Chain A
Amino acid sequence: MSALTSAAITVADTVTEFELPSINYSAIAPILIIFGAAVVSVLVEAFAPRRARRPLQLVLVIGSVIAALVVVVSLAGTRLVTAEGAIAVDGPTLVMQGTLLVVALLGALLMAERGIDPQGDAFAPRASALPGSEDEREFTERGYLQTEIWPFFLFALMGMLIFPAANDLLLMFIALEVMSLPLYLLAGMARRRRLLSQEASLKYFLLGAFSSAFFLYGTAMLYGYSGTVSLPGIAEALTAKPSEASLVTIGVALLLVGLLFKIAAVPFHQWTPDVYQGAPTAVTGFMAATVKIAAFGALLRVLYVGLGGMRWDWEPMLWIIAILTMLVGSIVAITQTDIKRMLAYSSIAQAGFILVGVVAVSREGLAASMFYLIAYAFTTIGAFAIVSMVRDASGEATHLSKWAGLGKKSPLVAGIFAIFMLALAGIPLTSGFIAKFGVFTAAIESGATWLVIVAVVASLIAAFFYARVIVLMFFSEPTEETASVVVPSAFTTIALAAGATVTIVLGIVPQPVLELVSNADVFIR
């Protein structure tokens, strides 16, 4: 330990003294483990023989995620700022990292599935081959399967782990990029409907790059105002000289655009339906669950730690965004005819509900938001697991009309999907209800009664489209068109079972997790 932390070795120089940054390596070990695994993963792609790659990659991914998870658990209770103030390891960080790792593990299981698609897996044999080209056909015929997704997965996960821990804006930006770039690529790797997939990838990249630029610009503005990029430093500057409003306001607005883009809040949500639809379903599930957690983690830290002093300026803006997000997400979801697009709008609406917890700006709000994220992540990944299993001859049957009468053909799978829908709708005895209850309580406690009333109306609208899927599955007769459920291998089955179990258990005995989040509801400053 001491060898690791006694980093403050001073190197005497003739001109200046250079101090090595002090880094608590054990506190950032989860990030380092995933980083190390990502690097090894690249090497495996480069040097291991083709046959050995998949088993090696799987051992690497699953092993490293579990190892990182064990370290996160062992760090419980840690509250420190390390790496010269750039990384904060505190309750919220550890809760988010722990959830991210568990959910990422389930996401990895979905991506590792090779029992569903008769052609192998859900990913293009060579992402570089042009869609519809001779090359592509040849690769498919030869039955090529690739494992390049794993380094991407690990790098993205590393970015996600840093994102909610980042205590300064520059590191946060780097984390944002490390998280996003692999995801842009993963989104474009679908084996089927490749044009749609590549379009999704490009759209995600362009809009994502745009939003990153906003984030960076906002960072620059805040630096110009406060002379620092560290969140506590900005908070200090805000209390010290609260006058120069315009620079800060513009900076904060730009910064928030970047973050709100990642959580898919309206009006920065335009990419979501296209990307969710185009990306391979396993990736969509992974991304929908984890990016939300990481980005909300970062958003909460920025708002609570860095910008708490100007709460009165951003709160009204977030109110409006929360209301828009809930209403637009719910209303537009009603008109969707594709299950993946519907889930995309659903995820937008859910982001709105989480924002209700965020704008409570209280410890309860933070705890409730974290609980909501946990509940949402497991339900989402389970729902996408099922989407990947419902297929017809042309691949995944995502059009809603093909889900008609599924309850009769496969009552178990349809029943589990119905539970996910009820959870997202917030019906009691599911995790979604306790989650909604938590954020609404936090919001009313801090006086945001009207926001909760809007949220209630939005919940009702949302309940309509969730109920519609149930109607379709259970109250309609199967037709010729109705898709069938492919029995997956153990990978997807485990992920699905875990998603369903957590959804129900958190609805019936939420106390342990509620305690966990309420013990972790203070950011270190």
Chain B
Amino acid sequence: MTTFPWLTTLGLVPLVGSIVVALLPRGRTLLAKQVALAIALITLGLTIAMALQFQADSTEPFQFVESHPWIPSFGISYSVGVDGIGLVLVALATTLVPVVILAGWHDADDSRGTVKGYFALILVLETLMIGVFAATDVFLFYVFFEAMLIPVYFMIGRYGGVQRSYAAVKFLLYSLLGGLFMLASMIGLYVVSAQITGTGTFDFLTLAGLEIDETTQKMLFLGFFFAFAIKAPLWPFHTWLPDAAAESKPGTAVLLIGVLDKVGTFGMIRYCLPIFPAASSFYAPIVIGMALIGIFYGAFVALSQTDMKRLFAYSSMSHFGFIALGIFVFTTQGQAGSVVYMVAHGLSTALLFLTAGFLMTRYRGSSTIADYEGVNKPAPVLAGFFLIAALSSLALPGLVSFVGEFLVLLGTFERYIWVGALATLGIVITAAYVLRLYQRTMTGPVKPELSGMKDLGGREVTALVPIVALTIILGLFPAPILNVINPAVDRVMQSVGATDPEPTVPLSSAVVEGTDK
């Protein structure tokens, strides 16, 4: 194990970069973009370098661990480290940031905020995203969790659409509501830890090892879960998402839905389950119910949307239902599937929003579905990417989202066969709205206004290709990611005290093959 502070470096690079970008003279917009992109690429390079040193078979719960006392008065330390789950999510974040910067090259050009400001905010957000997935101190996690709101708030409010300030405030207040209840729970947890061990602490491993009595667990769980359910968002805490997504720039939406919302589901698997095992099993049926409703509610509402961004938002909500379902069925496959699904959803969200964003910049920025018809004639490449995005969203076999969805369903079937059967129906509706969207906008006779539409340029294709490549490679060969995730998931399962149900038929699923490689 190296002693190089990987995670801190990883977090500092974008932060320093954002300061540099913010200090550039106002007129140098091109330079600001170039610096931002370079910083994001350096961060990605560092992430890859770090990931290569990650030992999947390590017995340590966390790797690249650093710990320094921060506020000893409250038992708070600056402690970071990643397990497999944290690592893939950090990697997701650092992959999407350069893509978003490149894709959103002109996003901020005609906004009311400055161009450099937009890119500086993206970099600050990157620091906070890395921090939130890397924190192993609950307080530190909370700080990142809440601080993330501020850059997003400004990204929506300053650079968004017509209803931007409404959407930004709604987003902020909703998230703060969850965050404040989590704060109360977190303080409660601290007080409980002080009662049990004599000194209060926020260290995750210590907290996860505590034997908290069940009544207390049930109360504290609610605060954490509420925050995560709003963040994710699960039905019925989702109403901020469509507004925020619709008013954001495509790049903002990608980071918001693709990465930030994962903090919610990440929080459930990282914090809710290991720290409150008894409460998690107690509430599992309710959460599974919420997840199921979310799957169908999101899908049905998506079916009736007339605006692309809102459609994607509701579709994401439906996918978050799957992720939460996988976490709360307490099977190895379900949870591993959820984590894969988080990554897959991040990638497919990026594809959807960015391609749609490219489409919108070609026609007055309109995101109304009815404004587009027959785009595949003037812009075949764009239509092609749009199709891949659509297929990735409906989890076509061979794409990474399929691996995630399949594992989640498999894990669900193992435990609750009827829930699994119901959830499977959700896929059908997903296929319906996604394909219908493609059919309406891309096929058919070309709308006269659109006939002169330019196809994707080199920059735009460059931004999309890595995502498409990852989607396909990980879809065909998920072993690397599963190998990293599985030990972490096993630890979560252990800490909840859950074991996989005895299989009634011999296991011969793709997972086992995948993990054995």
Residues of A within 8 A of B (CB): 408, 422, 427-429, 433-434, 436-438, 440-441, 444-445, 449, 452-453, 456-457, 459-460, 463-464, 467-468, 470-471, 474-477, 510-511, 514-515, 518
Contact = CB atoms under 8 A, between A and B. Distances in A.
B72 A511 contact: yes
B168 A449 contact: no
Given A429-B143, A475-B168, 12 more contacts: A408-B112, A437-B183, A437-B187, A453-B184, A456-B181, A459-B176, A460-B173, A464-B173, A475-B112, A475-B157, A477-B112, A515-B73
A170 B188 CA distance: 41
Contact of A441 (B154, B165, B180, B187): B187
A429 B149 CA distance: 12
Interface string B73-100: 1100000000000000000000000000
Interface residues of B, number: 34
A475 B111 CA distance: 11
Interface of B: 70-74, 112-113, 142-143, 146-147, 149-150, 153-154, 157-158, 164-165, 168-169, 172-173, 176-177, 180-181, 183-184, 187-188, 190-191, 194
A475 B183 contact: no
A234 to B, nearest CB: 32
B496 to A, nearest CB: 26
Contacts of A511: 70-73
B73 A456 contact: no
A152 B73 CA distance: 39
Contact of A428 (B112, B146, B154, B187): B146
A438 to B, nearest CB: 8
Contacts of B70: 511
A463 B157 contact: no
18 contacts: A408-B112, A427-B146, A429-B147, A434-B71, A437-B74, A437-B187, A440-B183, A444-B188, A449-B188, A452-B187, A456-B183, A464-B173, A467-B153, A470-B153, A471-B169, A474-B154, A475-B158, A510-B71
A463 B172 contact: yes
Contacts of A449: 184, 188
A428 B164 CA distance: 24
Question: Which of B168, B172, B184, B190 has its CB near the most chain A CB atoms (within 10 A)?
Answer: B184
4 nearest A-B pairs in the assembled complex, by CB-CB distance: A428-B143, A514-B73, A475-B165, A475-B157
- Of residues A428, A441, A452, A459, which shows the largest number of chain B Cβ atoms within 10 Å of its Cβ? A428
Which has the most chain A C-beta neighbours within 10 Å: B146, B157, B176, B181?
B176
Nearest to A367: B73
A467 B150 CA distance: 10
A445 B191 contact: yes
Contacts of A471: 157, 165, 168-169
A441 B154 CA distance: 30
A452 B184 contact: yes
Contacts of B165: 471, 475-476
Which among A441, A457, A459, A510 has the highest number of chain B CB atoms within 10 Å? A441
B150 A441 contact: no
Nearest to A440: B187
Contacts of A468: 169
A441 B185 CA distance: 10
Nearest to A434: B71
B147 A428 contact: yes
A422 B150 contact: yes
A487 B331 CA distance: 63
Contacts of B150: 422, 427
A476 B146 CA distance: 24
A440 B184 contact: yes
A84 B73 CA distance: 36
A474 B158 contact: yes
A429 B128 CA distance: 12
Contacts of A436: 183
Contacts of A467: 153, 169, 172-173
Among A440, A470, A475, A510, max chain B CB count under 10 A is at: A475
